[in-house]
């Protein structure tokens, strides 16, 4: 199983963002993770779309956009115009029929749709959408804050989502986000994750290239 690492720009030095992007590329990142927070679905506010467009222009890496927002469906065309590669929305922000339409629209706009589970959402919430998505995201911390500790009680959920992916959509990526470092990456990989969002453990490491290599070895 190929593993992928997506350093989270939320942990980067915002005053030197272009340098931080270059550092992630040189360190062997597979994707860049970009958290959009609206202050409604989660308490904090993060980046907007103009910065996303600049990030897209500064890097050839796929942009993994995590919409921690109450109304992600309102911004899909904007996300496409800004260069998003993956767009992940939370399963609990709209009714199931509207979520299915949103995921289809993301794909129609040339992006890859993802569905996310926060810790309070059981694996069953993502099951109706497995065949519609390119990425399933299991949050291993509460969304909205960086630097939290990994929640090991999310590991059975990762395993349940992995089983569903293997049955119904083997090409779908299974991403985890929150509190990831060498030890927790190994546990998440053993549960079935193949894509890892790393923030503090990447951008705040003394040597990002060595840190990613260590975590990649742990996952593999």
Q: Residue 200 in contact with residue 8, Cβ under 8 Å?
A: no
In this model, does residue 148 exceed pLDDT 80?
Answer: no
Which of 58-72, 83-97, 146-160, 202-216 has the lowest average pLDDT? 146-160
The mean pLDDT of the chain is: 95
pLDDT at 82: 97
Residue 211 has pLDDT above 70, yes or no: yes
CATH number at residue 175: 3.20.20.70
Q: What is the pLDDT of residue 144?
A: 77
Coil, helix or strand at residue 202: helix
Q: What is the DSSP letter of 150?
A: P
Q: Of 35, 64, 160, 194, which is the active-site residue?
A: 35
- 153 in catalytic set: no
| Residue 149 vs residue 137, higher pLDDT | 137
Handedness of CA 136, 99, 167, 108 (dihedral sign): negative
What is the DSSP pairing of strand 173-177 with strand 195-198?
A: parallel
- The answer to whether residue 35 is catalytic is yes
pLDDT, tens digit (0-9, with 9 covering 90-100), for 3-29: 999 999 999 999 999 999 999 999 999
DSSP letters, 3-41, are -EEEEBGGGS-GGGHHHHHHHHHHTT-S-EEEEEEBSSS
Instruction: Answer yes or no: are the C-beta atoms of 179 and 150 closer than 8 Å.
Output: yes
> Half-sphere exposure (CA, 13 Å, Cβ side) for 75?
22
Signed CA dihedral, 29, 31, 195, 204: sign only: positive
What is the number of domains present in the chain?
Answer: 1
Residues 93 and 64: beta-carbon distance below 8 Å: no
Structure tokens at 158: 């990762």
Using one digit for the tens of pLDDT, what is the confidence trace for 174-186? 999 998 988 899 9
- Give pLDDT, residue 147: 67
Tokens of 38: 């609206």
Confirm if 32 and 66 have CB atoms less than 8 A apart. Answer: no
Dihedral pair phi/psi, residue 163, rounded to 5°: -60, -40
**Structure tokens given for 153:** 């009680």
Residue whose C-alpha is closest to residue 12's, from 3, 175, 2, 29: 29
For residue 146, the model assigns a pLDDT of 66
What are the DSSP calls for 59-111, one per residue? Answer: --SPEEEEEESS-GGGGHHHHHHTT-SEEEEETTSS-HHHHHHHHHHHHHTTS
Which tokens go with 20?
């931080």
Among candidate residues 30, 38, 177, 194, the one labeled active-site is 177
Residue-wise pLDDT tens digits, 181-200: 888 999 999 999 999 999 99
Residue closest to 158 by CA, chosen among 141, 133, 137 = 137
Q: What is the per-residue pLDDT across 50-78, written as a single tens digit (0 to 9) for each?
A: 999 999 999 999 999 999 999 999 999 99
Q: What percent of the chain has pLDDT over 70?
A: 99
Residue range of the domain that includes 25: 4-219
Nearest to 61 by CA among 19, 24, 35: 24
């Amino acid at each position: 199983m190929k593993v992928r690492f997506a350093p989270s720009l939320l942990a980067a030095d915002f005053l030197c963002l272009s340098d931080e992007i270059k550092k992630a590329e040189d360190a062997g990142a597979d994707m860049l993770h970009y958290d959009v927070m609206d202050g409604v679905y989660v308490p904090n506010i993060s980046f907007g779309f103009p910065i996303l467009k600049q990030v897209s222009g500064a890097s050839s890496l796929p942009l993994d956009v995590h919409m921690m927002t109450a109304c992600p469906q309102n911004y899909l065309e904007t996300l496409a115009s800004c260069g998003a590669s993956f767009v992940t929305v939370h399963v609990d922000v709209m009714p199931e029929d509207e979520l299915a339409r949103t995921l289809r629209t993301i794909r129609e706009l040339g992006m890859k749709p993802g569905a996310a589970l926060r810790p309070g959402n059981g694996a069953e919430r993502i099951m109706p959408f497995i065949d519609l998505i390119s990425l399933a995201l299991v949050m291993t911390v509460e969304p909205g804050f960086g630097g939290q500790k990994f929640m090991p009680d999310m590991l059975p959920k990762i395993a349940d989502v992995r089983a569903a992916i293997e049955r119904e959509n083997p090409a779908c990526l299974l991403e985890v986000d929150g509190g990831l470092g060498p030890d927790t990456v190994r546990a998440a990989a053993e549960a079935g994750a193949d894509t890892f969002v790393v923030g503090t453990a990447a951008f705040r490491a003394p040597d990002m290239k060595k840190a990613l290599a260590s975590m990649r070895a742990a996952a593999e």
